[in-house]
């Protein structure tokens, strides 16, 4: 007796085996009878390709929003005592709601509550969800309390300036909360990971960063030279365009107070949505 596997069945259907004397064999193995009329209706008769469903909407882009810090890692603490981790998750949740309401995207949060996730775990989550875009959201602190404004960061082996290098060092040190054996990877392995980030991913990240800055202009105060880069571990995804958005600095009392206000966070999320819309529009037009 011939064993009728799924591969044989699919291959036979495409070649007409089941149509020409294959009915008895199919019946012995409990396979329903398929008439030639059915194959003609579905466009599969005579080895033809399956019919294309025209007008079907394209799959929605998947966006991973990553609120920085969380749990035992508070992030920066503002001059009035505000925790960065709370500002980050509040704004990311508000942005998710805005994007989902548009019906254009599927949006996933790396965390919805106050819990700690190692940096590599955040990247792994983006890959698990097959994200098309990764946005890490922060509101860090600087040693200069007079510095304020939003900025956007992409991955690079070398920092664009000393201030950014210090920010990256602070962000990368978040894994100290993960405990022994979980705090990142050796420097030589990090160098290999940097080299594996594909050029097209770098271009996508740069385009998304530029889109955010354009949307923030005239709406959200920007840092001087707002487009910057450094070796942020959380941005080290080889095939997902990734950016880190600093919404302001908790070390500046004006930024801290602004980020505590829902109206200001709404301005940020609306500008972010505009930037995301622009990014994916350019992608659909083949401009990235």
Question: What pLDDT digit, counting tens, does each position of 169-192 carry?
Answer: 888 776 555 554 444 555 665 555
Q: CA 74, 255, 268 angle in degrees (round to 5)?
A: 90
The rounded Cα 201 to chain-centroid distance in angstroms is 12
Q: Are 59 and 103 in contact (CB under 8 A)?
A: no
The order of strands in the sheet holding 242-246 is 106-109, 62-67, 133-138, 242-246, 150-155, 222-230
pTM attached to this predicted model:
0.74
Q: Cα separation of 160 and 233, whole Å?
A: 16
Q: Cα separation of 202 and 154, whole Å?
A: 8
- Number of residues in the chain: 288
Superfamily of domain 62-284: Zn-dependent exopeptidases (3.40.630.40)
Higher pLDDT among residues 181 and 68, named by residue: 68
Q: Cα separation of 283 and 236, whole Å?
A: 21
**CA–CA distances in Å: residue 201 to residues 46, 204, 214, 282:** 42, 5, 20, 15
pLDDT of 104 higher than 70: yes
pLDDT at 6: 34
Task: Out of 167-171, 193-197, 202-206, pick the least confident.
Answer: 193-197
pLDDT at 15: 39
Helix (H, G, I), strand (E, B) or coil at 121: helix
Residue intervals in the chain for CATH 3.40.630.40: 62-284
Helix (H, G, I), strand (E, B) or coil at 37: helix
Highest-scoring range by mean pLDDT, 15-19, 111-115, 181-185: 111-115
Residue position matching structure tokens 């749990």: 71
| In the chain, beta strands by DSSP E | 62-67, 106-109, 133-138, 150-155, 222-230, 242-246
């Amino acid at each position: 007796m011939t064993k009728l596997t799924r591969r044989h069945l699919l291959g036979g259907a495409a070649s007409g085996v089941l149509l020409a004397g294959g009915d008895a064999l199919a019946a012995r193995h409990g396979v329903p009878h398929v008439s030639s009329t059915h194959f003609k209706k579905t466009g599969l008769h005579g080895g033809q390709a399956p019919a294309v469903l025209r007008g079907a909407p394209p799959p929605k882009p998947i966006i991973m929003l990553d609120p920085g810090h969380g749990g035992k890692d508070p992030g920066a603490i503002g001059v009035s005592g505000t925790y960065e981790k709370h500002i980050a998750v509040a704004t990311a949740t508000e942005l998710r709601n805005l994007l989902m309401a548009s019906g254009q995207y599927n949006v996933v949060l790396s965390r919805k509550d106050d819990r700690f996730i190692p940096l590599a775990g955040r990247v792994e989550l983006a890959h698990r969800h097959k994200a098309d875009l990764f946005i890490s959201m922060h509101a860090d602190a600087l040693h200069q309390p007079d510095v304020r404004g939003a900025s956007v960061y992409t991955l690079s082996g070398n920092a664009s300036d000393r201030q950014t290098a210090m920010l990256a060092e602070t962000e990368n040190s978040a894994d100290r909360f993960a405990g022994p054996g979980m705090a990142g990877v050796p420097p030589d392995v990090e160098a290999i990971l940097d080299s594996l980030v594909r050029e097209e991913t770098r271009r996508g990240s740069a385009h998304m960063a530029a889109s955010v800055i354009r949307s923030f202009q005239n709406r959200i105060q920007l840092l001087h030279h707002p487009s910057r880069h450094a070796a942020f571990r959380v941005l080290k995804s080889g095939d997902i365009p990734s950016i880190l958005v600093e919404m302001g600095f908790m070390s500046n009392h004006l930024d801290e107070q602004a980020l505590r206000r829902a109206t200001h966070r709404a301005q940020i999320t609306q500008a972010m949505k505009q930037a995301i819309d622009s990014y994916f529009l350019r992608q659909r037009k083949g401009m990235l």
